[in-house]
């Protein structure tokens, strides 16, 4: 017990007394640990940013997309499609799901009436596609029972109304022959410069207020004649998004296809998942992280070995004196190695602290080209791996000078 404590006290004393040398030796190791931890954390953040960007376009992992197309002119539009959707959610306990249909709808803007594209969706699409309004809010369940339709519009839409914000609680008329007044509750950012005005409306609200009599669906024209090619092309059902557990995605894909096919005779039902192409980035980023960290640690370790060797030569006389006090060769070996280990452990701590400071102060929007909604936690595993690697490098770097220190004859060391 006293032997171990004594060795630690001795190692700590040595580090305390030779602060400058220790500092020089450890800069490399601390930088290496900072690099390992920071690169790992940044890769995690980049991965999250990329994932969130993908989520915004394709939905979260794993989202199933259900589409249906008529196979021929005689195929009737399925009347039970929406009811089957509700049953599906109950049957498979799917928490987040949304229907999604793009429609051309006339809107009365400041400069006159114009048909724009509107997405009719369910409130869950906000969660599935990570839609975060820049101002205002996204839809809530309670909006389904509102007495007027609500809209979440993009910035171009708002500007077309001659508005810059929602402070005036703006409303807008939707529809052509029997227009209704809708309240704008949120504004999303334009996806690109000079974007066209577009808006979201709740699926059920739309059909209740605007679409049920068909009067506002198509701008300024009569509904296509039944049996014409146009009618065939306009036969459609809402696309569905279902956010399902990753491990059940494959099984659910098959079962949902079967279920929905049964309510849509003469239609082709396709179910696709969005779980593709992310593994490559995972592997590549991990290899990059390991590569950068490994090289940094190797360089830091070499610097440490170099300085440790020089130091031991400088300390030979002292080691000889300690041997005269009764320091066994094992104790000298352990002491010199422990110095290196204690030093690199401290350097590891400094490196991790530095890394935390860097990661917490990264200008995320500038670096990753957009905000991160679910910030990944600081990679504790990377910090631990960095610390363990640093300490291991310290032990390896300590073995060489420690072996050298033990080989020197005591009487030669004292006279050195």
Tell me which residues touch other proteins (CB under 8 A). Answer: 2-3, 5-6, 9-10, 13, 17-18, 317-318, 321-331, 410-411, 414
Closest distance of CB 328 from other proteins, Å = 5
And the tokens for 20? 């400058």
Residue whose CB is less far from other proteins, 138 or 416: 416
Residue whose CB is less far from other proteins, 2 or 361: 2
Closest distance of CB 399 from other proteins, Å = 20
Distances (CA, A) of 8 to 88, 244, 342: 65, 54, 8
- What is the separation of C-alpha 255 from the centre of its chain, rounded to a whole number of angstroms? 29
Instruction: List, as one string, the DSSP characters of 170-191.
Output: -EEEE-SSS-EEEEEEEEEPPS
Closest distance of CB 40 from other proteins, Å = 38
Residue whose CB is less far from other proteins, 9 or 178: 9
Closest distance of CB 6 from other proteins, Å = 4
Residue whose CB is less far from other proteins, 6 or 294: 6
Residue whose CB is less far from other proteins, 256 or 341: 341
Distances (CA, A) of 130 to 60, 115, 123: 8, 27, 11
What is the 8-class DSSP label of residue 64?
A: E
Radius of gyration from C-alpha coordinates of the chain: 33
And the tokens for 104? 């051309």
Closest distance of CB 340 from other proteins, Å = 18
Output phi, psi for 154, to 5 deg.
Answer: -95, 175
Instruction: List, as one string, the DSSP characters of 87-147.
Output: HHHHHTT--EEEEEEEEEEEEEETTEEEEEEEEEE-TTHHHHTT---SEE----GGGGG-S
Closest distance of CB 53 from other proteins, Å = 57
């Amino acid at each position: 017990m006293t032997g171990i404590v004594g060795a630690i006290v001795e190692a700590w004393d040595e580090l305390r007394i030779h602060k400058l040398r220790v500092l020089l030796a450890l800069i490399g190791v601390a930088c290496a640990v900072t690099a390992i931890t920071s690169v790992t954390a940044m890769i995690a953040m980049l991965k999250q940013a990329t994932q969130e960007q993908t989520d915004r376009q394709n939905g979260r992992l794993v989202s199933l997309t259900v589409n249906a197309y008529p196979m021929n002119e005689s195929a009737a539009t399925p009347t039970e499609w929406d009811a089957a959707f509700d049953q599906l959610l109950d049957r498979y306990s799917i928490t987040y799901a949304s229907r999604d249909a793009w429609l051309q709808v006339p809107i009365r803007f400041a400069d006159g009436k114009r048909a724009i594209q509107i997405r009719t969706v369910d409130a869950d699409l906000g969660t599935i596609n990570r839609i975060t309004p820049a101002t205002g809010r996204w839809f809530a369940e309670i909006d389904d029972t509102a007495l007027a339709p609500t809209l979440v519009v993009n910035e171009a839409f708002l500007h077309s109304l001659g508005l810059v914000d929602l402070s005036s609680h703006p409303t807008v008329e939707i529809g052509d022959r029997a227009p209704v007044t809708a309240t704008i509750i949120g504004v999303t950012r334009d996806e690109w410069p000079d974007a066209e005005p577009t808006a979201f409306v709740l699926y059920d609200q739309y059909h209740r207020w605007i679409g049920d009599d068909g009067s506002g669906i198509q701008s300024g024209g009569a509904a296509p004649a039944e049996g014409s090619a146009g009618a065939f092309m306009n036969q459609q059902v809402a696309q569905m998004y279902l956010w399902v557990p990753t491990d059940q995605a494959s099984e659910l894909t098959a079962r949902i296809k079967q279920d929905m096919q049964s309510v849509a005779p003469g239609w082709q039902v396709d179910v696709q998942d969005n779980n593709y192409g992310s593994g490559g980035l995972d592997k590549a980023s991990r290899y990059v992280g390991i590569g950068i960290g490994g090289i940094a640690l190797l360089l830091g370790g070499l610097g440490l070995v170099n300085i440790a060797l020089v130091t031991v030569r400088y300390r030979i006389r002292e080691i000889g004196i300690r041997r005269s006090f009764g320091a066994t060769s094992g104790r000298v070996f352990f002491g010199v190695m422990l110095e290196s280990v204690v030093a690199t452990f401290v350097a590891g701590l400094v490196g991790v602290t530095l890394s935390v400071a860097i990661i917490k102060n990264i200008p995320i929007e500038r670096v990753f080209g957009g905000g991160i909604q679910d910030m990944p936690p600081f990679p504790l595993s990377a910090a631990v791996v960095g610390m363990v690697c640093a300490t291991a490098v310290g032990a390896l770097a300590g073995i060489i000078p420690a072996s050298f220190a033990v080989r020197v004859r005591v009487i030669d060391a004292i006279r050195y």
